Amino acid sequence: MANNKQEHAQWSSSFGFVLAAVGSAVGLGNIWKFPYMVGESGGSAFVIAYLFCIALVGFPVLVAEWLIGRRGQKNPINTFTDVAVSEGKSRSWGIVGATGILGGFLILSFYSVIGGWALNYITKIGTGSFVGQDSDTVGATFDAMLASAGTLTIWHTVFMAITALIVGIGVTRGIETTAKVLMPLLGLILFVIVGYNVVNGGFGEAVNYLFAPDMSKLTGDVMLAALGHAFFTLSIGMGIMVAYGSYLGREVNLLKTARTVVILDTVIALAAGLAIFPIIFNNGLDPAAGPGLIFVSLPIAFGSMTAGTIIGILFFLLITFAALTSSISLLEPTVEFLEERTPMSRTVSTIVASTVIWLLGIAALLSFNLWSDFTIMGNGIFDALDKITSKFLLPLTGLAGIIFFAWKMDQRTIQQELGLSNGAWQIWQVVAKFVAPIAIIVVFVTTLLG
Ligand code: PHE
């Protein structure tokens, strides 16, 4: 990305941009977080709420963030400020960029901890820890990892260091090009596991669990969780897509690109669900096991399938890779901001930002062991960071972003920029002006009252 201060770089092609956007969107959110949130929220109610949120809120917010980013061509704060000023509106809109950067910053701290888990599992599977093991042993291995602050710290550090290195050297685009090969491979492995499940049972039950509508479980809390996850998984509501949009050429069709990203992201999440839940049901595991869900279920399958060790190693390697293309996007806005707004060079900006995030990550991982008694409003540090970002910062930043986009910016030029005919434009306006913001507000109010 921007390696020198005078010139704000651009993506070489719209394909490069799609790769980067998919790289950011597809990550631990799809494979680690989505399944366990489904499990905690009782299955299909969450899935259905999530699909609605993705289509009616996520998609328009994504387009809005790219468009604003492309207009502003700077880091998210300056972008929001500049675009607001050029539309004759208050400079205070820059705050939206700031809360966004804060969100990404906080997310990366615990994201890196989970990236570390995935790294650790590569070595565990590689050394045959799970071959022929039953669910109790696999669960015990996971618990032992959580209990060891030292192990968690080492792997969190490795993950954070790799992220910082990539961002610091400024080779994020090289990584994204590699992702072009690795992402499809990840998809393929997911389907191999799904295939294994079809043969080994539990599949029908999982399909039912994920898709048979059971609206009795659709509470305000589930809706807020689904909304928050829609933001998390698409990397919106935190300035990242604004920052990415700032590198975007004018010829790129935002709506089509957003459609591609949203569909790919959703397909991978659903495939992860179909890869994991049959194993859960087959082995009598608890779907509501929480953040450890994939780590206590998949290794059972890898331990018993043909070539399981290879497939298992590959799987966790690819997850790590997907996590890295997301984590570099989480670090990038903060670094971009420091680089453009302070005298610090890119290298120093990267070191400063990642050290602070790394420290916060240590606090997060200690909440699984040494600091497990310390809570913030009933949550451990890890859960608190997750909830504050997904349930508040992201949706509220997204809400402000879409309100700015649909109510404060000149709509005529937006119609041209999106290239919409009059009919399609009216639908778009209803969604962007009313459906998306009202949905966010309603979900908030219901949850707060509930
Ligand atoms: N979207 C990424 C994922 O689903 C996580 C992420 C969140 C990345 C926010 C960037 C910003 O894993």
For the segment 74-132, what is each residue's pLDDT rounded down to a tens digit?
888 889 899 999 999 988 898 988 888 888 889 999 999 999 999 999 999 999 999 98
Residue 67, token pair as written in the block:
């468009």
- SS3 for the chain is CCCCCCCCCCCCCHHHHHHHHHHHHCCHHHHHHHHHHHHHCCCHHHHHHHHHHHHHHHHHHHHHHHHHHHHHCCCHHHHHHHHHHHCCCCHHHHHHHHHHHHHHHHHHHHHHHHHHHHHHHHHHHHCCCCCCCCHHHHHHHHHHHHHCHHHHHHHHHHHHHHHHHHHHHCCHHHHHHHHHHHHHHHHHHHHHHHHHHHHHCCHHHHHHHHHCCCHHHCCHHHHHHHHHHHHHHHCCCCCHHHHHHCCCCCCCCHHHHHHHHHHHHHHHHHHHHHHHHHHHHHCCCCCCCCCCHHHHHHHHHHHHCCCHHHHHHHHHHHHHHHHHHHHHHHHHHHHHHHHHHCCCCHHHHHHHHHHHHHHHHHHHHHCCCCCCCCCECCECHHHHHHHHHHHHHHHHHHHHHHHHHHHHCCHHHHHHHHCCCHHHHHHHHHHHHHHHHHHHHHHHHHHHHC
Distance of CA 27 from the midpoint of ligand 1 (Å): 6
Of 95, 42, 46, 110, nearest to 388 (Cα)?
Answer: 110
Q: Determine the atom of ligand 1 nearest the C-alpha atom of 32.
A: 12
Of 191, 186, 196, nearest to 306 (Cα)?
Answer: 196
- Give the residue carrying structure tokens 């986009």: 405
* Contact status, residue 215 vs residue 33, Cβ threshold 8 Å: no
CA pair distance 74, 242, nearest whole angstrom = 9
Cβ neighbours of residue 306 closer than 8 Å, sequence gap 6 or more: none
Report the pLDDT value the prediction gives residue 291, as an integer from 0 to 100.
Answer: 93
Residue 70 to residues 60, 243, 406: CA-CA distances in angstroms? 15, 8, 16
Residue 377, token pair as written in the block:
């409003």
Residue 290, token pair as written in the block:
């929480």
Residue of minimum CA distance from atom 11 in ligand 1: 235
Ligand 1 pocket member 107 (CB < 6 A):
yes
The torsion angles phi and psi of 237, rounded to 5 degrees, stand at 80, 20
Please compute, for residue 87, the number of CA atoms within 13 A of its CA located in the half-sphere on the CB side: 25
Ligand 1 pocket member 108 (CB < 6 A):
no
376 SS3 class: strand
Q: What is the pTM (predicted TM-score) of this model?
A: 0.92
Angle separating helix axes 293-304 and 254-282, nearest 10 degrees: 70
* Contact status, residue 64 vs residue 432, Cβ threshold 8 Å: yes
Distance of CA 30 from the midpoint of ligand 1 (Å): 9
Of 358, 260, 249, nearest to 23 (Cα)?
Answer: 260
Distance of CA 422 from the midpoint of ligand 1 (Å): 34
Ligand 1 pocket member 299 (CB < 6 A):
no
Report the pLDDT value the prediction gives residue 8, as an integer from 0 to 100.
Answer: 58
Task: List the chain residues with pLDDT less than 70.
Answer: 1-13, 449-450
Cβ neighbours of residue 2 closer than 8 Å, sequence gap 6 or more: 8, 9, 170, 247, 336, 339, 340
Distance of CA 25 from the midpoint of ligand 1 (Å): 5
Of 35, 31, 29, 183, nearest to 121 (Cα)?
Answer: 31
Q: Determine the atom of ligand 1 nearest the C-alpha atom of 240.
A: 11
* Contact status, residue 297 vs residue 275, Cβ threshold 8 Å: no
Ligand 1 pocket member 69 (CB < 6 A):
no
Domains, the chain: 14-449 (1.10.4160)
Q: Determine the atom of ligand 1 nearest the C-alpha atom of 30.
A: 4
* Contact status, residue 45 vs residue 416, Cβ threshold 8 Å: no
Angle separating helix axes 220-234 and 394-403, nearest 10 degrees: 70
Distance of CA 234 from the midpoint of ligand 1 (Å): 6
223 residue type, one letter: M
Report the pLDDT value the prediction gives residue 280, as an integer from 0 to 100.
Answer: 92
Distance of CA 111 from the midpoint of ligand 1 (Å): 9
Distance of CA 133 from the midpoint of ligand 1 (Å): 32
Report the pLDDT value the prediction gives residue 304, as an integer from 0 to 100.
Answer: 84
Residue of minimum CA distance from atom 9 in ligand 1: 235
Report the pLDDT value the prediction gives residue 450, as an integer from 0 to 100.
Answer: 60
> How far is residue 10 CA from its own chain's centroid?
23
